[in-house]
Structures are given as C-alpha cells and as structure tokens.
Amino acid sequence: PTPTRPGAYVVDLKDIRRRPSWTLPSVVAHELLPGHMIQLGLEGATPPHPLRIDYASAFVEGWGIYAEQLAEKAGAYADPHDALGHIHWLRFRVARALVDLGIHLHGWSIEQARERLIEWQGEPAYFAPFDVELARIPLEPATRVAEAMAWLTIADTDRGKSPVAYHTALLAHGRLRVDDIRKIRS
C-alpha cells in the first residue's frame, strides 16, 4: 500500500478446501495486518537510512511472526480454533529454526530432521510440506534461525514500551539486523 493506493493480497485458491480455516486468522495477521503489508509498505516509502546499509532479510519474517503475536494480544484469536491455528504456526516456525540448527550445527541427515519435524510439529503446515522445507533449509544455512531471532528480539524489545511509538520507530528504519533492533529499545 501507499498513501494513495490501497494494498492488495492475492489468496492462492488452489486446493483451498484442503487448507484448514483455523489457520487463516494467523496467516492474515502475518501477511496483512499488522504484518508484511504494513511493514513492506512502510519500508518502500522510507528513504535510505544509515541503519539500512546492512540488508537483513530475516527482519521481514521476524516482523510477520511478531504480527501474529500482536493479533493474539489484541484478541484476534478468540475462537479456540483460531488460537490453535496461531499455536500451529508458532510450532512450525520454532521447529524450522531447530531443524536448521540440527542440520547445520549437529550434522543431522534429512531423515533425522524429518523425524524431528514430525515429533515437534505433528502435521506439516498446509502450504509448507516437510519435503519442501527440508529441501530449502540445507540450501539456506541459518536463515530460519535468523528469522526466529529477529522475531524474538522484536518481541523482547517491545516490553514496557508504547506499542505505537515502538512500532513506528522500528518500522521507520526498514529491515534491521538483530543488533539494530536492540538499538531501537534505547
């Protein structure tokens, strides 16, 4: 979105009946409000800033996951099924980060990683089947860990602050590294 044009989100209707409806409120928070649609729109309108010199792709996913938590705090998951969807997505993201560590730090095989995903997550997320994730994670070392670290740092840094002031300060600088997210705290 821009100040003069509304944003848009295209829903993939392929096999829509297979996508559990209880996962959708969390997806909306992550992708739309207050997620990527807000964050990316503000980033696009922000002139280059010294903190943007270091491009930090993990910030985008970190903000999206944090946005899901904001929606939870605002009561967006009042229905127990919607709350379950939120928990489902959190487990998905934490499990991916742990598998990323297992593969790259502990030398897990893909089969060991698959066993852990099943143990930690249960069923795969609808549009992120285990085979797809297990093909990507070895090719993108530490990406899932970086996304989780960005999310946890954003969430930790917001404690005790005015949400509007914090979010404005955080999003005014574009994509930030974890160290730069911490600087917003002061």
Q: For the chain, give every domain's residue range.
A: 22-185
Task: Give me the pLDDT at residue 135, please.
Answer: 95
Instruction: Decide if pLDDT at 179 tops 60.
Output: yes
**Which of 60-69, 84-93, 160-169 comes out lowest in average pLDDT?**
160-169
Convert the pLDDT of each residue in 69-122 to its tens digit: 999 999 999 999 999 999 999 999 999 999 999 999 999 999 999 999 999 988
Q: What is the mean pLDDT of the chain?
A: 88
* Residues in contact with 154: Cβ distance below 8 Å, sequence separation at least 6, in sequence order: 62, 63, 66, 170, 181
- Report whether 127 contacts 12 (CB < 8 A): yes
| pLDDT level of residue 1 (50, 70, 90 thresholds) | low
pTM of the entire predicted model: 0.88
Buried-exposed string 78-115: b where 16+ CB fall within 10 A, e elsewhere: eeeebbebbebbbebbbbbbbbbbbbbeeebeeeebbe
